[in-house]
Structure 1
Amino acid sequence: MGFAEEHRKWVEEHISRRTGERRGRLKRGHGHGERMFLEKVWWPMMGHLNDLHPEYEVLDWRSRPYFVDFVWKPGQVKFAFEVKGYGPHVQNTDRTRYRQELNRETYLQIAGYRVVAIPYDDLEASPELTITLLRPLLMPYLVLKLEEEEEFSRLERDILRIAVRSNGCIRPVDLVKELGIDKRTAIKGLSLLCNKGKFSPIILEKSGRVCRYEYKHSFKDDQLW
């Protein structure tokens, strides 16, 4: 299923579960910038919209409702994503409103959210940059979720963590150096993870040999990228 159809179903599902202002805010607030973030960044990176909540209501320090563009809750962790344009957020002439916005971001962090600002201009001009910045930020939590859902040996967990630090691609020699294991054990561990769908071998065209392995970030059967 493509992005457009999946996005339509996702929005309709969230609308159907809401009432009152929460429902109205989703209809009004989920606009062009938010959709562009999903289509150009989140969908290419994740491949689905699971655990992502649009126009998510949070009470601020005054117990007043505040709606975050997106909240991602894959488990215990909570991320708050705000798509920010230059005009409304930098050149805002309402200084009181601007201060309140900054205070809300601080309060969100106090409430346990990791706050991430997404520049609107980057969504238009260079969404690949946003993906590049988000991947290493989110990958540790993707690994934790994978470990919760599936059984991994200690060696397999160590390999997954190294893959995260290595931006997703590793060679057997990297495992030999970091884990102090022999090359045969490294290749065996990588092969087992390939069978579990967590890695894919990268094969050299000329020799046909496997030169390195790419970590496939996934929730269950959904490939993240």
Structure 2
Amino acid sequence: MHTFEHMHTLFIEKHLEKRSGERKARLLRGHSYGEKLLLQNVWWPVFGNFDYLHPEYEVYDRNRKSYFLDFAFLPPYGRFDIECDGFQSHVKDMDREKFSYSLNRDTFLTALGWKMIHFSFDDIKDRPEICRSLLQLVIGPYLLHKVNINPVSKIEKDLLLFAWQLGRPIRPIDVCNAWKLNFRTARKLLAGLADKGWLQSVSKGSTIRYYELKKDTLELLF
């Protein structure tokens, strides 16, 4: 069984088993409706797994003060902080000191090599497709750099990112219009990505009409 609910339960149970004290208590308190919704509406549709993902992950600010990230994504090729920000708790209830501290904290993590990804609760709930697109834009290039099998050129990497941004099947004419390429070159690029397993061609009769990103593309990259 690989439904979201089942895998989410296993995910949280696994991390609870590894923790004790305040780190365990924080996971029980902190991983609530908004954080789960982020996983359900944004993360799971993109990745289909929770590999390298850590909920309520403890880090330290520049004064060695401990605090917790909503999620830390820690694959071999980078460190990503993924946050679900509610308006009430992250903006409306902030005073000037807390606001400054929040900005300085993010900048400090950035200096340490973290990539900061913030989503509003409203977008996660009502416009998750925006969050999924942004998540792919941020993490996608790192996934592509990791690939060792069927390596792709820079223009092919850019083309895959362009296909992600479209959010729909991609056609040679889309590439022609966006990149000012001739139709034959655009078709050749898309066909090459299909040959490498990144895209799936869709035909009508003997003519290929467009290409779709395969459902397991990110899993293959990852």
TM range, normalised to the smaller chain? 0.7 to 0.9
Counterpart for residue 134 of structure 1: 135
Whether 2:184 is the aligned partner of 1:189: answer no
The equivalent position to 1:214 in structure 2, one of 208, 212, 221, is: 212
The answer to whether the aligner puts 1:152 opposite 2:155 as a matched pair is: no
The structure with higher relative contact order (CA 8 Å, sep 6+) is: 1
1:107, 1:153 → 2: CA distance? 34
Instruction: Encode CA deviations 1:112-156: one digit per residue, 9 max, x unaligned.
Output: 1111111011122211222222222222122123x14x24365xx
1:97 aligns with 2:94: no
Q: What residue in structure 2 maps to residue 201 of structure 1?
A: 201
Letter in structure 2 aligned against 1:161: D
Within the alignment, does 1:164 sit opposite 2:161 as a pair?
yes
Asked if structure 2 preserves the Cα contact closer than 8 Å seen for 1:163 and 1:170, the reply is no
Give the root-mean-square deviation of aligned CA atoms.
2.9
**Which amino acid counterpart does residue 212 of structure 1 have in structure 2?**
Y
Structure 1 distance, partners of 2:201, 2:191, is 12
User: Post-superposition, which runs of at least 4 consecutive aligned residues in structure 1 deviate over 4 A?
Assistant: 168-188
Residue type at the aligned position of 1:35: K
CA contact (8 A) 2:150 2:196 kept: no
Unaligned runs of 5+ in 1: none
Contact 1:105 1:115 in 2 (8 A): yes
**Identity in percent:** 31
Counterpart amino acid of 1:97?
Answer: K
Deviations 1:14-66 (A, max 9, x none): 11112221111111111110000000111112111112111111111011111
**In 2, Cα distance between equivalents of 1:54 and 1:13:** 11
Cα distance between partner residues in 2 of 1:51 and 1:69: 14
Contact map agreement 2:59 2:66 (CA 8 A) in 1? yes
Task: Give the Cα separation in 2 of the matches to 1:137 and 1:63.
Answer: 28
Q: Partner residue of 1:29?
A: 30
Structure 1 pair 188–109 and aligned structure 2 pair: CA distance change class (3 A): closer
Alignment partners' CA distance in 1, 2:96 and 2:187 = 63
Instruction: Sort the Cα spacing of 1:172 and 1:191 in 2 relative to 1 into closer, same or farther, 3 A.
Output: same
1:56/1:69 contact within 8 Å kept: yes
Q: 1:141-192, CA deviations, whole angstroms, 9 ceiling, x for partnerless residues?
A: 22123x14x24365xx643432223437555674997699868965762442
**TM-score, length-normalised on structure 1?**
0.80
Cα offset for 1:76? 2.4
Provide structure 2 residue ranges, at least 5 long, that are not aligned to the other structure.
none
| 8-17 or 163-172, larger mean C-alpha shift | 163-172
